[in-house]
């Protein structure tokens, strides 16, 4: 049985994409790795625009998302290592991603009766 070994066998990420459910990495050796998006709580809470802004670390050893301060290594993806949640609520709030405020409901112009009004 012959085994072909790559000259540079270190795994490297060539391309990354984030869907609503997964983080998907295409490796230089042809493998495609996907992990649940929930494994990265920072990316789970990020907007699609923030998820789309990333850069490869080094020659593909990992990926960095600057707007949410998240780093994921190719080794972490291969070994299936979820990102740990912060230990305290204060830490979670400190790094929480800011989302735009919800739209304010428009008034219909009709006045509402007070709840305790006599009819």
In order of their start, the domains of the chain are 13-83 (3.30.2020.40)
Torsion of CA 18, 92, 81, 56, to 10 degrees: 50
Q: What is the pLDDT of residue 98?
A: 54
Nearest Cα residue to 23 out of 81, 90, 66: 81
Q: Which residues contact 34 (CB under 8 A, 6 or more apart)?
A: 22, 23, 24, 25
The closest of 3, 16, 25 to 80, measured between CA atoms, is: 25
Q: What is the mean pLDDT of residues 28-54?
A: 95
Q: pLDDT tens across 50-109, in order?
A: 999 999 999 999 999 999 999 999 999 999 888 888 775 555 555 554 555 656 666 666
Task: Return the pLDDT at 36.
Answer: 95
Query: What pTM was computed for the model?
Result: 0.65
Residue 5 has pLDDT above 50, yes or no: no
């Amino acid at each position: 049985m012959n085994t072909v070994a790559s000259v540079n066998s270190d795994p490297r990420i060539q391309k990354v994409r984030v869907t609503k459910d997964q983080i998907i990495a295409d490796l230089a050796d042809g493998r495609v790795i996907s992990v649940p998006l929930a494994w990265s709580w920072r990316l789970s809470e990020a907007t699609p625009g923030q998820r789309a802004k990333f850069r490869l670390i080094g020659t593909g050893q990992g990926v960095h998302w600057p707007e949410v301060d998240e780093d994921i290594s190719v080794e972490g993806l291969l070994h299936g290592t979820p990102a740990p949640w912060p230990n305290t609520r204060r830490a979670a709030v400190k790094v929480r991603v800011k989302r735009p405020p919800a739209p304010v409901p428009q008034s219909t112009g009709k006045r509402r009766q007070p709840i305790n009004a006599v009819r």
